[in-house]
Structure 1
């Protein structure tokens, strides 16, 4: 299939492929839009079942980063990188160095940061061969702690703020006693569970790794459920915090919640699924708005800032969501469509 004819090709500016025979690296970098600045996005390593699945993911993710940066008020464009492979099995120093060289080959059009399957330590290895790696010299932390470059604390706090705001808007209540189903307990999902637990929410969790579930059960009193059962729970909130495209006509039909608010990128299998959520009376927090904490964190690490300024920026995620919800009600449109309209007004604006 031609990249230009791919269903997820959305006038991307640049899509690059890399195969390093010596290390086994197979990777794709997609640059969606640089109207507001150089493209920034995480580097994800995942055991994709096919090359086409990886291409589909990187195209969707890079587009989402353009919209995310615009909605977060950043002078930044959208890009993304994916490495094909299981990070627990085939990640090597040589492979990471080769990935650094791949990023460098684009001459600064793409700035790479951390994402699923990657760590700050991995980025530092990539930085041995590229000057365009972000999040490895962090100064600020959302909780005022010593920063290590991991944006997950900021991402999870931003999702928590957004989830809390969405519950208040939809259910007119705080989080005490609210039942939340969390799908995915990685770097962000587990931290989100902690925030929700401290706010008094009741948690139901699932993950592909049993040890992650065990942590949530032990630390936060969560109830463990199966990967499939998570869609069928009689709870208030569904928080997708794993892979994307999980909100399909089939899964939406199964949901009994009133709110969908989580950290995963590209949660809607199709844009039309936003209308299906609206028709069911479910308030959807557009993913690239609620999960913008990571890119906000990385942006603040590059400018003169402070712990307090970064935290205040993260908390503005709540106000942005309220703006979307209010306009969606006024226009009688799905929240994802309204969010897209606002973002496009920003990143297509000409001087």
Structure 2
């Protein structure tokens, strides 16, 4: 495990068990040079503890890079709670997790993520102040979607040579809170939407409300489009799926979209422009961090729209230096974090 921590340049791993509630949780803290670690709490089923630890560490690293390039005085962290088939009292479980967060003395601030809700954050808040995206703080999903839209506009300028998304054909994989909010924004911009999700009800809703074309999950990669937007869990781009892509741009809300770092270079070799995930999806982090700090909603929205300008810079440097956007973004973040 220490070798894995060294590989990810991880500062700390914390494990917590509470037999009374069945809580088994991990908090990974990657880098706190810029400030206390902040990152969401996932509540998902994992095959093994090692899988949960690896997921937490990868995500924590991404949060450090995301905060650095978003200009936030925050470090990167992530929590995962192992989801078991039967939970006697969900509220008690999340209150126990809140006690765990409180024991870290402000070194980690938690937030909503996959499998958790504002109501869960409210339970955590009964035990600690080191939590955001509560019911009072608001859902970060709209700001995540707004930032992804700004990033998609930047990618369209760079690769499709257009400032308009009208008629741009977008395949959207995943219609969760962020994915559906992004679909609404894209539809308002006049984009042509193709959508897929495990939840067929969400696909039907997008078809009825947004005029989206439904796609089978297995068809999302091979269907021709201008832009592919992964908005579900990570790992959308792997050695198999990359060869199936029929798009000019990959730009979506999911974290850890590339299973392996070298896939960024492979996308570039195929003339597919990739918007680095932790740059384009930073709107949610901006929301939770700045809301926690008491910044106004209008100022937060302005910061979120700046995501497009950051990507403009990354794409320009990528063209000038012949490096993939993923490598450019990593170098920029590492310069901030490690000097």
| TM bucket normalised to smaller | over 0.9
Counterpart for residue 106 of structure 2: 108
Segment of structure 1 superposing worse, 317-326 or 22-31: 22-31
Q: Which consecutive segments of 4 or more residues in structure 1 shift more than 6 A?
A: 86-91
Q: RMSD of the TM alignment (CA)?
A: 1.7
Q: Give SS of 2:221's match.
A: helix
Q: Give SS of 2:179's match.
A: helix
Aligned with residue 127 of structure 2, among 116, 126, 129: 129
Counterpart for residue 324 of structure 2: 334
How many correspondences in the alignment?
A: 338
| C-alpha distance in structure 1 between counterparts of 2:127 and 2:257, whole Å | 33
Counterpart for residue 319 of structure 1: 309
**Conserved? CA contact 1:197–1:203, under 8 Å:** yes
**Conserved? CA contact 2:5–2:11, under 8 Å:** no
| C-alpha distance in structure 2 between counterparts of 1:87 and 1:150, whole Å | 26
| C-alpha distance in structure 1 between counterparts of 2:210 and 2:54, whole Å | 35
**Conserved? CA contact 1:71–1:289, under 8 Å:** yes
**Conserved? CA contact 2:168–2:192, under 8 Å:** yes
Deviations 1:167-193 (A, max 9, x none): 121101221111111111111000000
Q: Give SS of 1:228's match.
A: helix
Deviations 1:237-276 (A, max 9, x none): 1100011122112111100100000000011101100001
Counterpart for residue 11 of structure 1: 9
Counterpart for residue 178 of structure 1: 168
Counterpart for residue 247 of structure 2: 257
1:57 deviates by: 1.0
Deviations 1:76-118 (A, max 9, x none): 1000001111699777111111111111121111100111111
Segment of structure 1 superposing worse, 58-67 or 42-51: 42-51
| C-alpha distance in structure 2 between counterparts of 1:49 and 1:229, whole Å | 27
| C-alpha distance in structure 2 between counterparts of 1:34 and 1:163, whole Å | 30
Counterpart for residue 151 of structure 2: 162
Counterpart for residue 287 of structure 2: 297
Counterpart for residue 247 of structure 1: 237
Counterpart for residue 207 of structure 1: 197
1:41 deviates by: 0.3
Counterpart for residue 59 of structure 2: 61
Which stretches in structure 1 are left out of the alignment for 5+ residues? 139-147
Closer, same or farther in 2 for the Cα pair 1:88/1:280, shift >3 Å? farther
TM-score by length of 1: 0.92
**Conserved? CA contact 2:170–2:192, under 8 Å:** yes
Which stretches in structure 2 are left out of the alignment for 5+ residues? none
1:5 deviates by: 2.2
1:157 deviates by: 0.5
Deviations 1:193-240 (A, max 9, x none): 000001011111111222221221111111111211111111111100
Segment of structure 1 superposing worse, 89-98 or 41-50: 89-98
